Amino acid sequence: MTAVPSISYSITVRLEVPAGGASVSQLTTAVEQAGGAVTALDVTASGPERLRIDVTCAARDTEHAELLVEAMRGVPGVAVGKVSDRTFLMHLGGKIAMNSKHPIRNRDDLSMIYTPGVARVCLAIAKNPEDARRLTIKRNSIAVVTDGSAVLGLGNLGAAAALPVMEGKAALFKRFGDIDAWPLCLDTQDVDEIIKVVHAIAPGFAGINLEDISAPRCFEVERRLREQLDIPVFHDDQHGTAIVVLAALYNALRVVDKQIADVRIVMSGAGAAGTAVIKLLLAAGARNVIVADIAGVVHRGRTDLTGELEWLAQNTNQLDFTGSLKEAVVGADVFIGLSAPGVLAMSDVAAMADRSIVFALANPEPEVDPAEATRYAAVVATGRSDFPNQINNVLAFPGVFRGLLDAHSVEITSTMLLAAARALAGVVHNDELNAAYIVPSVFHAEVHHAVAAAVRRAAGGPAELPSDTEVAV
């Protein structure tokens, strides 16, 4: 699959060029001929003989960005100045900050916000611990917790390298759910230590969002924390992915006029995300599901099954199919990939059932070329932003937590996950639904409100929020 210029590899190059000549058009041509895309061109200073121009362009990757700079340097009369990577600029100093809700203007403000007035609030909470949710940030705060062992698709980068992702997650929580999220990157990958730390900090939060913790220990961390804590624990790599995949599948099945109970689904990937997707599909009524991992199709006769793999063997592949992934997709209605690039060829997609559905979600390189897959599949989705139907967890987690916090929920259940998926699918109305639009944009005005309301109701919260707890979503 040919890479295309991406805004995530966007650079701004400060140049000096001769005034009154053809240098500007030559710069644009040079960038385009080198495979880049000019997205902005600003004159920042002008004189009788020279212009200072900031050229912003998108590249395919870091090496390609350097080639674009060299292409601009090769234009006659052009002098290259500072080159800025726009993504790194956005991360300078971090992406989030804490702000006070009340100004501290004088001694009266100080005495109420801090001592001596704050002591009265402390004593009230000591007398009635439930008041912590009403009188502190707890009511609207979650911890975004990682051990850095599975950062994006990059692997085990450690706690410090995971921080930019956790900051970004916190920013998304605020933007789309009006939730105060705090990134906590733990310098340990020991299960017992992770659980001990999260248990210790839990009193200050109304929910825990586990993030980028590798399988299989992520399963144990989540399970034990759910047993120990009186606040919901949500592993977004599992449950957020499962919600959005199910919502997209609901709508894809509407496009091809099939029912979830009738279709044959083949999954590539039995890690944290794949296992969670399978469990939610089964809860939604799927009956014919086969999953494959790196060792092949999961079936009861395999001798290497432990933990979640053993559960998958007992609850999927009811006909005990023992062939390969490629053999399994022959005649399948749905393929869902949460695994690795290039595991399927075009011939495999062509061998699927009529009006098939392909979700190739490995990122950045999917299991099969999505552009080619559309030749044979009726509906194609990916995890990428440069193709239609992006399966993106940000469609789910802000609304899910908004609903949990508003309901004062102490847990998260499959019923809530199913409600979130149905609500997300329902945002795409009948007159909007088509093969290239099965999930809404994350910026769609209804998305997070609809998901939050559905989760709040499923959690037993109020149908409508009282005025003193209204939040924008």
Residues labelled as active-site residues: 114, 169
Q: How far apart (Å, rounded) are the C-alpha atoms in residues 440 and 417?
A: 18
Contacts of 165 (CB under 8 A, 6+ apart): 146, 151, 152, 211, 212
Which H/E stretch holds residue 369?
Answer: none
Over the range 211-226, which residues count as b (16 or more CB within 10 Å of their CB) and which as e?
Answer: bbbbbebbbbbbebbb
Instruction: Report residue 241 as tokens.
Output: 């992915």
Q: How far apart (Å, rounded) are the C-alpha atoms in residues 377 and 473?
A: 35
**189: closest CA among 151, 146, 155?**
146
Q: How far apart (Å, rounded) are the C-alpha atoms in residues 180 and 153?
A: 26
Helices (H), 21-113: 23-33, 62-73, 86-91, 107-113
Matching residue, tokens 């296992």:
275
The half-sphere exposure of 231 on its side-chain side, counting CA atoms within 13 A, is: 24
| CA-to-CA separations, 92 to 54, 76, 85, 96, 445, in angstroms, rounded | 20, 34, 11, 11, 30
Spatial contact of 343 and 373, defined as CB atoms under 8 Å apart: no
